[in-house]
Structure 1
Amino acid sequence: MQRIGVIGLGNMGRGMALSLARAGFGVAGFDNGESATLAARAAGIAVADGLPALAATCDAFVLSLPTSAIVKAVLFGADGKDGLAALLKPGTLIVDTTTADPQATRAMLPALGERGLRFVDAPVSGGAAGAQKGQLTMFIGGAPADLDLAEPVLAAMGSKRFTIGAAGAGHTAKLINNLLVASHLLTAADAFRLSEAAGVPIGQIIEAVNAGSGRSGVTQYNYPSRIMNGAFDSGFTMQLMRKDVGLAMALAEQLALELPLAREVGRRWKESAALLADGEDFNRITQLQ
């Protein structure tokens, strides 16, 4: 693989494209959005005019898209025949870094297999900064041979890479991760509200909490660097986290699991749409009473 096509050039996709270029790959990209296209070109990324032009010049592809529905539309088109998959040679590798519905991912695998295409799901954690630095955490699913082929591409983007299982397992693991983050934000907000009401400000307790067993990624990182300082600048939005929590709730429903605490987390994130706009930083959920 010499030239990688990155589809989806938002904050994450653009950062991953730059990390791939630093690792020595030729890189080209495509995005339907004008602002993302302009930002990518300003960063020095070659942007193709469309999927056919990208497919003609690249021999592996990384997807960084908002939803499973968009992934399906990109790969198979509106009629299931005119998407990216129909343009690629057998053996071509597709790495999907989207935080997606694992059931939808598995449903696409037979059609990709019929075309002889290789598929790895590798959703990521670490934000735009991690994407820019090539220091993402990756939750990876795929067949062993496909994972071996994908390793140089994955290594260029992620410094912490965890193979979870077969294709679709990576997407499942990422939903579990984000459900925990969404839950920890709510429980930490409640706990610190209790602390403040009892006369102990967050600034006086958080260091002790982070040295004790109550710590989490939210208390160790989100609170000091995104919340307590009022920055709220993670680059990850309320809309995206609401989507991910919704996918986790849908997965629980599909599996007929009764998860009362997770259900309450899902309810609070869903209802936050009436109070926090889609574009707000996801850490602002801690400000809701």
Structure 2
Amino acid sequence: MKKVGVVGLGNMGRGMALSLKRAGFDVSGFDASQDSVQKLAAEGVKPCASIAEMTGAVDVLILSLPTSAIVEEVVLGAGGVATNAKRGLIVIDTTTADPNSTRKVAAALAECGVGFIDGPVSGGPKGAATATMTMVLGGAEDHIAAVQPVLSAISAKQVHVGPAGAGHVTKLINNLLTGVHLLVTSEAVRAAEAAGVDKTRLIEALSGGSGKNSATLTNYPTWILNEKFDSGFTMKLMRKDMRLALELLRSKNISAPVANEAGRLWAKSEESIGDAEDFNRIVQFVDTH
């Protein structure tokens, strides 16, 4: 499986396409933005004029898209993957998506003889560009084995967590924890500063103790303390992931008072932090009501 197509050439898709190219794959790219397509064409990624053109030409198709609705349109819509795929194609969806939508897409593709893996990623644009991401995978073992060289070319670690949909369940739970960690760590930082403790030294201390979490280990040192706020992941996307995670918990009748409060705060932050802002800006949000 040497011919790989990437649909969605934003921060993540671009990095994956270039990582595949470096690994020796024949890589094609498609995006709604022709500017994005042409920029990658200059770096050796073959431009495709349509999803139909790409789908009929590749062995593996990677989706890097913002939402489940867009994934469904790309796969099931007119001129989409389902109506143009050759049997034996394997689709890898790296979107952080609704697991119910994922299972719907997987079932539709199975009827066309197309394999489907939900493989959401962690590591951000830098991880995509350097092939150091972690992927959580949902799908059949034989499909995952068939595309292992592709997975290894774009990520440093892969964990198979179950059948189709399981990858997206796991990623939503991961992002829920990230959202909670950022909120509670920001409260801890404000409390320590009010008590006279330097926040930089606080984060260093917490990261070596039992209170360490993703915010103390990664977010604060990389994007917050230096006020760069340039992780490449937006408030809009994180609010979407928090909403999907809470919908998942509610659908399974899970008691989750802490998660629900975190979800309320992320939703309320929309009043003062714009969708396009970096998601780490949540540490600047204070609920005054």
TM-score range for the pair, normalised by the shorter chain length: over 0.9
Q: Which residue of 1 aligns with 2:214?
A: 217
Q: Which residue of 2 aligns with 1:22?
A: 22
Q: Which residue of 2 aligns with 1:190?
A: 187
Cα distance in 2, alignment partners of residues 38 and 254 from structure 1:
43
* Unpaired stretches in structure 1, ≥5 consecutive residues: none
1:17-96 matches, within 5 Å, as: 17-77=17-77, 82-96=79-93
Of the three residues 271, 275, 281, the one matched with 1:284 is: 281
- Deviation for aligned residue 1:37: 2.6
Matching of residue 236 in structure 1 with residue 237 in structure 2: no
Cα distance in 2, alignment partners of residues 184 and 72 from structure 1:
31
Cα distance in 2, alignment partners of residues 42 and 282 from structure 1:
31
Matching of residue 108 in structure 1 with residue 105 in structure 2: yes
Cα distance in 1, alignment partners of residues 138 and 201 from structure 2:
42
Name the aligned partner's letter for residue 91 of structure 2: I
Cα distance in 1, alignment partners of residues 85 and 138 from structure 2:
21
- Deviation for aligned residue 1:55: 2.1
Greater CA drift, 18-27 or 49-58: 49-58
CA deviation vs aligned residue, 1:88-128 (integer Å, no higher than 9, x gap)? 11111101100001111112222111111111110000000
Cα distance in 1, alignment partners of residues 183 and 8 from structure 2:
30
Cα distance in 1, alignment partners of residues 270 and 36 from structure 2:
25
Q: Which residue of 2 aligns with 1:117?
A: 114
- Deviation for aligned residue 1:36: 2.7
Matching of residue 129 in structure 1 with residue 116 in structure 2: no
Cα distance in 1, alignment partners of residues 143 and 56 from structure 2:
22
TM-score (norm 2): 0.96
Cα distance in 2, alignment partners of residues 129 and 96 from structure 1:
19
CA deviation vs aligned residue, 1:121-178 (integer Å, no higher than 9, x gap)? 1000000000001111101111111111121111111101111111111111100110
Cα distance in 2, alignment partners of residues 41 and 245 from structure 1:
35
* Unpaired stretches in structure 2, ≥5 consecutive residues: none
% same residue: 49
Of the three residues 107, 130, 138, the one matched with 1:141 is: 138
Secondary structure in structure 1 of the residue aligned to 2:147: helix
Counterparts in 2 of 1:19 and 1:83: CA distance versus 1, 3 Å = same
Cα distance in 2, alignment partners of residues 243 and 3 from structure 1:
32
TM-score (norm 1): 0.96
Q: Which residue of 2 aligns with 1:270?
A: 267
- Tell me, yes or no, if the aligned pair for 2:58 and 2:89 is still in contact at 8 Å: no
Cα distance in 2, alignment partners of residues 39 and 240 from structure 1:
24
CA deviation vs aligned residue, 1:226-255 (integer Å, no higher than 9, x gap)? 001111010011011001001101111211
- Tell me, yes or no, if the aligned pair for 2:56 and 2:86 is still in contact at 8 Å: no
Cα distance in 1, alignment partners of residues 245 and 126 from structure 2:
25
- Deviation for aligned residue 1:33: 2.0
Secondary structure in structure 2 of the residue aligned to 1:161: strand
Cα distance in 2, alignment partners of residues 147 and 177 from structure 1:
21
Length, aligned pairs only: 286
- Deviation for aligned residue 1:35: 4.0
Cα distance in 1, alignment partners of residues 125 and 189 from structure 2:
28
- Tell me, yes or no, if the aligned pair for 2:140 and 2:164 is still in contact at 8 Å: yes
- Deviation for aligned residue 1:258: 2.5
Q: Which residue of 2 aligns with 1:176?
A: 173
- Deviation for aligned residue 1:42: 4.2
Q: Which residue of 1 aligns with 2:155?
A: 158
- Tell me, yes or no, if the aligned pair for 1:120 and 1:150 is still in contact at 8 Å: no
Aligned-CA RMSD value: 1.2
Name the aligned partner's letter for residue 249 of structure 1: L
- Deviation for aligned residue 1:20: 0.8
- Tell me, yes or no, if the aligned pair for 1:140 and 1:162 is still in contact at 8 Å: yes
Cα distance in 2, alignment partners of residues 273 and 33 from structure 1:
27
Name the aligned partner's letter for residue 134 of structure 1: A
Name the aligned partner's letter for residue 51 of structure 1: I
